[in-house]
Amino acid sequence: MIGRFPVLAAGAMLLTGCISVKAPDKPIEINLNISVKQEVVVSLKKDAEDFITNNPELFPK
């Protein structure tokens, strides 16, 4: 068990040289052009209004 530690330590040292993290040359640009449009159109025509008025049992309050 004691003989394995130097081998594992040497292997770990070799792996540290393989990994490199470098910042990009240009800044990261995130372009969020989001357009959310919600439109609610309510149109009550005269005949629909008359129907509701003449049939109150269909539209309880």
Confidence (pLDDT) at 21: 79
Q: Predicted confidence band at 61 (pLDDT cuts at 50, 70, 90)? A: confident
CA atoms within 13 A on the CB side of 44: 6
Report if pTM > 0.75: no
Q: One-letter amino acid identity for 54?
A: N
Confidence (pLDDT) at 58: 86
Encode pLDDT of 16-47 as tens digits. Answer: 566 677 888 888 888 888 877 766 555 667 78
CA atoms within 13 A on the CB side of 36: 1
pLDDT at 14 over 60: yes
Enter the tokens of residue 19.
């990994």
Handedness of CA 8, 13, 15, 19 (dihedral sign): positive
